[in-house]
Structure 1
């Protein structure tokens, strides 16, 4: 009986967990090495003072990616993971007092926009129809296949896809596109916000990002029972069920490579051989530290880093019935806010504030009569700013904004507080400069400059996760794992053919 091929995965983020299962299904003996004591990367949780918080990503869309993985593994997903659609995707608060519920039902959402901001009937549905078509024609190709493989460009659908790409999608900014499609400043601002889903600036990023709203407003927003950590738990249990071995508190020191081939890794000064090495680590650190290739790391820095986040985890001694699961308190000057973040590398004094409250879905996440607030603002990546001062300033900006818009004294209600800044994000998740999505998408060619899912310079070395194609966020990380696994399978098939 022939020996199983071996694969090592560096990092157990969402993509690392998913590709571990996919390679196990291909017949690999898979070992995952994780420097933290737990799986999931940014998708983790903690409890404090009776409050339970998801530490990282809080929005769950496109559950079909997880369903497809479980189906491929032959495992019933309901034994691992349950989720349900939410009726309001997000609640938006504006400084002048307007409140807009982004209903999951597009008829209700269109009616809401008409009633609250006099947005003409038809604008929303026309927008979402174009968003869906753009995703189906273009996104489904470019987000599901490697952009760096010749076979992608000869795909039978590629000519059709390229034919549907209007020049405005590439050469017009996302903001300009949204201003053409909506008449009210409020609707324009709501849709400009979708650029932040990959850490970008809507006033710079291309209108191609207009495919993102389709994934939330046409396909829906969901809540995973138990919170976002249940996604990590499900992926981890599935990998274990398929025979994957995990090594926690075990950072990888180097990737062994000689004669243009990856041969394994070094852990605790011990060489571990492998036929395939997959890095789910940030690609800057992969090149600089694990491969000792500072030149390749510098190339990554030629691209603008995505934004980072400043998060306050607040236990609140009150319930706010006017809030929902997802809430946004918008800045009055959105363009200036993005300029301050990306050009000024500072925090805007009137930041857009996101508040996620899972206790709205599961009351057990907070003590009786209280709520768990995940309070986040977009901030620049870490370039050495004085974060202690910036955190104090931001905290006051946020408190002032919430007090104004909810007519409350929120500071007096904070019973528990934990803070996460870009420095801690880098320390805990290995995201260089605390950038949540690696590189930003603030140029029309950004997607093509992302790290491929393989390395042509070093054979048998592959990569997946938020800093490689197709990008960051849970759905794209799952796509990244699928793309990389398919490339590995194809490469292994070629090797077998050469040996026969």
Structure 2
């Protein structure tokens, strides 16, 4: 048996889970080299700058900062600068009838806002958020922090307790159906249905288990890094370097081969005792790992993607905050357009994130940097040029109508990220942001495991495998993977 200090490992991909995995392996004394096909690290957490505007190009919501804290001090050293602020207003919401609601992080203020603006009984809010917390307490330590594909998980008393309470999680009920029963105002229902989009799913098909998601914001809190979202991976990269992790950029891995108990990349002759794949699992199974793992099974249904416009806006809007939502008038029709018709609805829900609200140097004086996103279908042969043009027109029309301003005249910088570009740049299969969707009550169990059942030393992390997409789950994915490696190689 090799000691950890003589183990060689390769991490394929430097997305947030790849970086976190590299740090965890290095903390065990394993030699780590990270191979990245692009010229920089970070995966979807990129950055784009133009004419005095700076945009974080990927994930825009930061929750569960304790996962970052733990990683950045994993070796006992506090040698990386990473600071963040907690949000008072989680998001501002706008409807076509000119209703406006602010989602406050303070529960009492939030309940009062819903009572005054929507006529919603505060008891309904309390009941829902208490249930969301209960779902979190049942699922987090078992379904999110442990592998669902290891027998040892199911032999724990904690797991048994959770399984006995499984009905309370809402696996057998639809999210939208339960929300309709819970709230009196359809706007309240739409508000909480939206949380299904946090992992690229459809609230009309997804299990009400996804009602756990609001607890992350309302129960634990939402935050924003002082230096922007990109600083999350900047901090992880710095930590990895400090711990001796090596990086090789502009390195495309076309083939991963198993030779006895070791692995080689592109037949270059270097042997690795273990391999951690941070590539999208569907892309990897059709590419470098096609001889080692099977393609995604028939149950695989890609999550939604996104169409994002990065706009430099030459005006400040006091009615907007860091996070803003402009709702579709027909939410069910919008999801039908995305998941059934594989198109973008002509009245899409529009999300606008403005980091310059908190990070003033992200835009010139008296200007704002708008990250404007609509949910989009995964790539399935669409005429994207036509769809992008029509969607841009629809977005501008909606924002102009609800903000009483001609938005088109205010755009002085523009950059566009499409589902096809997401696929091309990040390797996310068909542009799906979260791997597979959760439009199935068994979705959690159908995600690819964090290890190969047939090849010792081959592991997987990232948003396309267990436990799922989004920054917190990607960080948990890295932890689950490293825990399995620790046990498999009996590292002391």
Q: Give the secondary structure class of the aligned counterpart of 2:102.
A: strand
User: What residue is the counterpart of 1:82 in the other structure?
Assistant: 83
User: What residue is the counterpart of 1:263 in the other structure?
Assistant: 263
CA gap of 1:424–1:252, structure 2 versus 1, over 3 A, is: same
How far off its partner does 1:46 sit? 1.3
1:160 partnered with 2:181: no
User: What residue is the counterpart of 2:401 in the other structure?
Assistant: 404
1:237 partnered with 2:238: yes
User: What residue is the counterpart of 1:196 in the other structure?
Assistant: 197
1:289 partnered with 2:290: no
- String of CA shifts for 1:77-106, please: whole Å, max 9, x gaps: 7x4200010110000001111001000101
2:13 to 8, 11, 14: 11
Task: Give the Cα–Cα distance (whole angstroms) in 2 for the partners of residues 350 and 170 of structure 1.
Answer: 30
Q: Is the 8 A contact 2:173 2:207 kept in 1?
A: yes
2:277 to 268, 276, 279: 279
1:324 partnered with 2:321: yes
Task: Give the Cα–Cα distance (whole angstroms) in 1 for the partners of residues 330 and 131 of structure 2.
Answer: 27
Q: Give the secondary structure class of the aligned counterpart of 1:351.
A: coil
Q: Is the 8 A contact 1:84 1:222 kept in 2?
A: yes
How far off its partner does 1:262 sit? 4.8
Q: Give the secondary structure class of the aligned counterpart of 2:490.
A: helix
Considering only aligned residues, what root-mean-square deviation do their CA atoms show, in Å?
Answer: 1.5
Task: Give the Cα–Cα distance (whole angstroms) in 2 for the partners of residues 429 and 126 of structure 1.
Answer: 40
Task: Give the Cα–Cα distance (whole angstroms) in 1 for the partners of residues 265 and 24 of structure 2.
Answer: 20
Task: Give the Cα–Cα distance (whole angstroms) in 2 for the partners of residues 294 and 234 of structure 1.
Answer: 33
Q: Is the 8 A contact 1:264 1:276 kept in 2?
A: no
- String of CA shifts for 1:99-140, please: whole Å, max 9, x gaps: 010001011000000000000022112211111111112222
Task: Give the Cα–Cα distance (whole angstroms) in 1 for the partners of residues 156 and 69 of structure 2.
Answer: 25
Task: Give the Cα–Cα distance (whole angstroms) in 1 for the partners of residues 405 and 57 of structure 2.
Answer: 26
Q: Is the 8 A contact 2:299 2:446 kept in 1?
A: no
User: What residue is the counterpart of 2:69 in the other structure?
Assistant: 67
Q: Is the 8 A contact 1:262 1:461 kept in 2?
A: no
1:393 to 376, 390, 394: 390
Q: Equivalences for 1:2-401 in 2 at 5 Å?
A: 4-76=6-78, 79-166=80-167, 169-258=170-259, 261-266=261-266, 270-293=268-291, 296-299=294-297, 302-401=299-398
- String of CA shifts for 1:55-84, please: whole Å, max 9, x gaps: 00000011011112123221327x420001
Q: Is the 8 A contact 2:467 2:477 kept in 1?
A: yes
Where does the alignment leave 5 or more consecutive residues of structure 1 unmatched?
Answer: none
Task: Give the Cα–Cα distance (whole angstroms) in 2 for the partners of residues 294 and 239 of structure 1.
Answer: 28
Q: Give the secondary structure class of the aligned counterpart of 2:286.
A: helix
Task: Give the Cα–Cα distance (whole angstroms) in 1 for the partners of residues 15 and 349 of structure 2.
Answer: 28
- String of CA shifts for 1:403-457, please: whole Å, max 9, x gaps: 1111110001000000000110011111010000000000001110100000112
Task: Give the Cα–Cα distance (whole angstroms) in 2 for the partners of residues 89 and 262 of structure 1.
Answer: 48
Q: Give the secondary structure class of the aligned counterpart of 2:294.
A: helix
Task: Give the Cα–Cα distance (whole angstroms) in 2 for the partners of residues 75 and 173 of structure 1.
Answer: 45
Task: Give the Cα–Cα distance (whole angstroms) in 2 for the partners of residues 296 and 306 of structure 1.
Answer: 20
How far off its partner does 1:258 sit? 4.0
User: What residue is the counterpart of 2:476 in the other structure?
Assistant: 479
CA gap of 1:120–1:433, structure 2 versus 1, over 3 A, is: same
Q: Give the secondary structure class of the aligned counterpart of 2:453.
A: coil
- String of CA shifts for 1:448-491, please: whole Å, max 9, x gaps: 01000001122110000000000000000000000000000000
Task: Give the Cα–Cα distance (whole angstroms) in 2 for the partners of residues 193 and 468 of structure 1.
Answer: 23
Task: Give the Cα–Cα distance (whole angstroms) in 1 for the partners of residues 153 and 299 of structure 2.
Answer: 26
Q: Is the 8 A contact 2:460 2:481 kept in 1?
A: yes
User: What residue is the counterpart of 2:420 in the other structure?
Assistant: 423
Task: Give the Cα–Cα distance (whole angstroms) in 2 for the partners of residues 322 and 307 of structure 1.
Answer: 29
User: What residue is the counterpart of 1:451 in the other structure?
Assistant: 448
How far off its partner does 1:200 sit? 0.2
Q: Is the 8 A contact 1:358 1:372 kept in 2?
A: yes
TM-score normalised according to structure 1 size: 0.96
Task: Give the Cα–Cα distance (whole angstroms) in 1 for the partners of residues 130 and 141 of structure 2.
Answer: 15
Q: Is the 8 A contact 1:139 1:211 kept in 2?
A: no
Q: Is the 8 A contact 1:313 1:373 kept in 2?
A: yes
Where does the alignment leave 5 or more consecutive residues of structure 2 unmatched?
Answer: none
How far off its partner does 1:168 sit? 7.1
CA gap of 1:248–1:410, structure 2 versus 1, over 3 A, is: same
Out of 388-397 and 128-137, give the one that drifted further. 128-137
Q: Is the 8 A contact 1:138 1:162 kept in 2?
A: no
